[in-house]
A and B are shown apart, each in its own frame.
Chain A
Amino acid sequence: MNSDERFENLRQELRRGSLPLAVLAALRTEHYGYTLRKTLAEHGMAIDEGTLYPLLRRLETQGLLVSQWREEDKRNKRFYRLSPDGKLILKQLLAEWKSIHASLENIF
């Protein structure tokens, strides 16, 4: 494994840990899968469909998201948004994220 591959593996590992937070934060506004992916990509958090949809399903099973199938532009789409539990967890996770960020800043 060369240094580029090593970096890429570690980069993906780092981003994977932040994905649930990014998804929860983006779903403060209602989205369906494709627009959610586009929103995340526009903010520099590109995520492929094979990762996003299983993650959405997991978060919904944990009661952090609610979803609803609705027709839009003559096509059925599944819309996601934060549940009340999700809002609470997002708040806690954001505080944790800021604490980690501050700790890392101190270490650097």
Chain B
Amino acid sequence: MELVDRYLHAVKFWLPRAEKDDIIAELSEDLRSQIEEKEAKLGHKLSDADVEPILKRCGSPMAVAGRYLPQQSLIGPALFPIYRVVIRGLFLYFLLPWFLFWMGIAIFSPDFRADHPGVALFASLDPWWRACIWSLFINTLIFAMLDRSKARRHLVNDWNPRSLPAVRDKNSISRGGTIFELTVVVATLATWIQLDAFRRVFHIFGTTITLSSRWPYCFWALVVVTVAGIYVSCLNLSNPRWTRLSASLRLGIDCYSFALFYWLFRADMLQSLSVSGVSFAEAATFVRSFNHWMAGSAIWVLVVGAIVVFFDVRRILRVGR
């Protein structure tokens, strides 16, 4: 019977103080009745090995004790859906972008890696971990407090069907937005063509800017992407709903554009600068700094591009459903 006593002692630990003895006496009586009945059937005393399955069937001590306790939760079912949305939003729109940004810098910035060698690289993620733990803790605390306050009743009971948000068609495209996009793209293209922007040398306000020999290729690549953008905008204007075709075209154009800009940022596009009153050496230093700054900023193009592509792919999946 030592096994039964140990079991009952373990159950007792988790029970409310006022009811401990009463519950244990009743449970003990039941278990001993079961054992006696089995002993009478088998004609001998039960060993620990025989008692073990009886106790296992009864359930783990914590689970058995838990059934005597009132049902408790830190955040009840009324507020839990809101809590879930907040935590998900926090992760998707704050913690995940932060982490991706850190990863982008860690992978693509040699300066950053040089400043944080070895383990220090991972230690640089320390503020992110802190933000994770603190934001999770504070949100949980706020919701747990809300769940125990009068505000919960207000949130759950005081609602009106008329105040619910209108159903939004996620696949519809705003005509106003498309017209604005079309206007901007056409105006940009017209300005570029008017300025003969495919040239390499520009004279602006007494300054002569010479671009790299790669610029004309880049220019025509930009023209191609702009024309494709105009085509998609026209398509969206004639049928203001995302289709698999228009969503896929948008993804293709965005991938192409961000790849092109990434290359543009890293291509040392500014070759030389000539400004009256500025020495050649000073201008050359400025050109070097500018190209270096552009190359360093290329990571941002990738980060923004990754976010845009993520939403584009999500749109294609949504349209496909």
Report which A residues bind B (CB closer than 8 A): 32-34, 37, 48-51, 53-54, 57, 69, 75-78
- Given A34-B34, A57-B68: A50 touches B29 (CB 8 Å cut-off): no
* Alpha-carbon separation in the docked complex, A75 to B64 (Å): 23
Q: Which secondary structure characterizes the binding site on chain A?
A: helix
CB pair B30 A37 closer than 8 Å: yes
Judged by a CB distance under 8 angstroms, whether B59 is at the interface is yes
Inside 8 A of B26's CB, which chain A residues have their CB?
Answer: 33, 53, 78
Judged by a CB distance under 8 angstroms, whether B145 is at the interface is no
CB distance from A46 to the nearest CB of B (A): 11
Residues facing A in B275-301 (CB within 8 A) are none
What bracket does the count of chain B residues touching chain A fall in? 10 to 19
Q: Which of A32, A49, A76 is within 8 Å of B27, CB to CB?
A: A49
Candidate in A50, A57, A76 with the most chain B CB atoms within 10 angstroms: A50
CB pair A34 B57 closer than 8 Å: no
Judged by a CB distance under 8 angstroms, whether B67 is at the interface is yes
CB pair B30 A49 closer than 8 Å: yes
Inside 8 A of B171's CB, which chain A residues have their CB?
Answer: none
Judged by a CB distance under 8 angstroms, whether B189 is at the interface is no
CB pair B63 A50 closer than 8 Å: yes
Residues facing A in B58-76 (CB within 8 A) are 58-59, 63-64, 67-68
CB pair A51 B67 closer than 8 Å: yes
- Given A33-B26, A76-B25, A78-B26: A50 touches B64 (CB 8 Å cut-off): yes
Task: Please give 7 more A-B residue pairs, beta carbons under 8 A apart, in addition to A33-B26, A34-B34, A57-B23.
Answer: A32-B29, A48-B58, A49-B27, A49-B58, A50-B58, A50-B67, A75-B29
Judged by a CB distance under 8 angstroms, whether B124 is at the interface is no
* Alpha-carbon separation in the docked complex, A49 to B63 (Å): 12
* Alpha-carbon separation in the docked complex, A48 to B26 (Å): 14
Judged by a CB distance under 8 angstroms, whether B33 is at the interface is yes
CB distance from B3 to the nearest CB of A (A): 16
CB pair A33 B25 closer than 8 Å: no
Candidate in B26, B57, B67 with the most chain A CB atoms within 10 angstroms: B26
CB distance from B67 to the nearest CB of A (A): 4
CB distance from B57 to the nearest CB of A (A): 7
